[in-house]
A and B are shown apart, each in its own frame.
Chain A
Amino acid sequence: MTDLNTLGLAEARDLLRKGETTSVELTEACLGAIEAADALNAFVHKTPEIALERAKAADARLAAGEAPAMCGLPIGIKDLFCTEGVPSQAASRILEGFKPEYESTVSQNLRDAGAVMLGKLNMDEFAMGSSNETSTYGNAINPWRRGNDEAALTPGGSSGGSASAVAADLCLAATGTDTGGSIRQPAAFTGTVGIKPTYGRCSRWGIIAFASSLDQAGPMTKSVRDAAIMLEAMCSTDPKDSTSIDLPVPNFEAMLTGDIKGKKIGIPTEYRMEGMPEEIETLWSDGTAMLRDAGAEIVDISLPHTKYALPAYYVIAPAEASSNLARYDGVRYGHRAKLSQGDGITEMYEKTRAEGFGDEVQRRIMIGTYVLSAGFYDAYYNRARRVRTLIKRDFEQVFADGIDAILTPATPSAAFGLGEMADADPVQMYLNDIFTVTVNLAGLPGIAVPTGTDRQGLPLGLQLIGRPWEEGELLNTAYALESAAGFVAKPAKWW
């Protein structure tokens, strides 16, 4: 039998239900893999006692024949989710020592469904980054390497620890969050599947806020089927989040028929960026051919405001962040700076925030403060919100014309080396989200599926964008793409 930690959710679930393994066995296999993988720096707070306790409880439920979807399946949780009694610090120094007295709705839903938490996963500080290099815990490392080159690569960000852990089989699946591409870009960089559902599908309650109008949680998994299983367990209508949608959660897995005959797939002209690497071009046209061969109709479409998505995002997200992160003031939780004789409350705020926040977070808070300040609010913030309306309208138009899903590259390149972007200006790093950020601005569901490798053997992914609330349809199209691509490569173990 293969090592249990290498299983996906669906396979492990089926073995558990047949009584061929136990949750304790699965959990111990993952805990062993985690212990041997410190070099990846993916798990930053390990919770083996909690894991084994929940695994035993899950085995009891399974024995009693009462086994919900995720029962007994060991997963990792991104550090952005508040987990009761377990450090939850958004990879920031400012939340050092913070142990929530409550559980986020999404992690509670997973707990209720019987999932076993193995620990907390590395990420960019406050989810602000595309390479996991802004974390107070240090970089998470991609298990993939360029052939025999030992240079450490980024697993992407912000959900870098989640992507690294899933790709390296340290857990069966993990939670992620996505504000501008933070699930889909790391999934593409690690050969895993990541879906960001429609804004409002997953409750944001208890997830440390970055940009509230854009943040959504979602699963990061080893297959599309696993994504369907875990997404269903994460979604709910939550009275504690006023933007949580009042819609029933479908059985997403039951919708995976692989039949996409007659579906209209849009290929947006504006995503063909100048200077796009040939490998990405080829990946995209290969994916288009796969969907066509599966019976879909391919339609060229236009999303004319695409170019303005990133600049609009870099007004709206920092503006919301500056407001959300105002709460970290050294009073109620986390770090407080040591004060000098005579320092008052203002010095306490300023020193605490200077010590507690890293450079990128400080930069974004201050950009947000600037675009919201008197005299600039209209010129920057309101203009960006108007452009956001136009970006959403672009999508509404193509969906009204009968398009079922849109196929694009997930990222402009394969995973890059850690430190390679250190001298680049901040805008260069922001370009990583160029294909994903439109989806957050329009509140749509988007999924990254691994479909190929570059010439150095690194995984590459394509993105499918769906209609609002039609995650089931989207997952089915992704399932068809996954089946056609047959991506099975795994990173060679070096850690």
Chain B
Amino acid sequence: MSIDENTAARVAKLARIKVEDEALPALASDFNRILGFIEQLNEVDVDGVEPMTSVTPVRLKRREDVVTDGNQQQKVLANAPDAREGFFAVPKVVE
């Protein structure tokens, strides 16, 4: 399976990373080298083997469905590049 520039551009779009057109050939070739390395996995017989979901065989912990934290608006917004009137501010989302 080989990745062409169109696929590289599509992946960049899905990842929301702007990649200039002139950088696409190098990116596609990096992808191909890495995926070529990963291809070895096809040699392994994985029939009947469950995909690992947790490395430790314990049941994921649960907690009571109650509020444990909150009322920290200032702290939540303290690191925002643009916060106004208690909200995160972003460019226009809908036309």
Contact = CB atoms under 8 A, between A and B. Distances in A.
A243 interface: yes
Which applies to chain A's interface (DSSP): helix, strand, loop or mixed? helix
A353 B18 contact: yes
A345 B91 contact: yes
B56 A245 contact: yes
B38 interface: yes
A468 B51 CA distance: 20
Given A305-B44, A389-B49, A389-B50, A366 B88 contact: no
A386 B51 contact: yes
Contact of B90 (A331, A371, A389, A390): A331
A365 B12 CA distance: 9
A386 B50 contact: yes
Interface string A313-339: 011000000100010011111111001
Contact of A311 (B40, B75, B92): B40
Given A199-B56, A330-B81, A331-B81, A353 B61 contact: no
A366 B11 contact: yes
Interface string B56-80: 1010110100000000100110111
A425 B19 CA distance: 20
A101 interface: yes
A343 B63 contact: no
B17 A348 contact: no
A380 B46 contact: no
A345 B16 CA distance: 11
Contact of B55 (A336, A370, A392, A426): A392
Given A98-B79, A366-B12, A427-B37, A343 B50 contact: no
Contacts of A382: 51
B80 A369 contact: no
Nearest to B16: A349
Contact of B80 (A242, A331, A343, A350): A331
A339 B90 CA distance: 11
Interface in B14-69: 14-19, 27, 30-31, 33-35, 37-44, 46, 49-56, 58, 60-61, 63
B34 A442 contact: no
A311 B56 contact: no
Contacts of A269: none
B93 A345 contact: yes
Contacts of A365: 15, 17
A469 B88 CA distance: 43
Given A314-B34, A367-B31, A427-B37, A344 B91 contact: yes
Contact of A427 (B34, B51, B63): B34
A200 interface: yes
Contacts of A442: 55
Contacts of B85: none
A427 B44 CA distance: 20
Interface in A173-208: 198-200
Contacts of B54: 213, 243
B31 A314 contact: no
A383 interface: yes
Nearest to A383: B41
A199 B11 contact: no
Contacts of A380: 38, 41
Nearest to B60: A242
Contact of A354 (B19, B60, B72): B19
A389 B17 CA distance: 32
A387 interface: yes
Interface string A377-391: 000101111111110
Contact of A387 (B34, B39, B46): B46
A315 B12 CA distance: 17
A351 B41 contact: no
Contact of A388 (B52, B61, B80): B52
Listed from nearest, the 4 A-B pairs whose CB atoms lie closest are: A443-B55, A385-B51, A336-B81, A333-B79
25 contacts: A101-B72, A101-B75, A242-B60, A311-B37, A311-B39, A322-B15, A331-B81, A331-B90, A332-B88, A333-B79, A334-B81, A336-B82, A344-B93, A345-B90, A350-B16, A353-B15, A353-B17, A363-B27, A365-B15, A383-B42, A384-B38, A385-B53, A386-B51, A389-B51, A390-B46
Given A343-B91, A390-B44, 10 more contacts: A326-B16, A350-B18, A353-B17, A366-B12, A370-B3, A385-B51, A388-B52, A425-B33, A430-B37, A468-B56
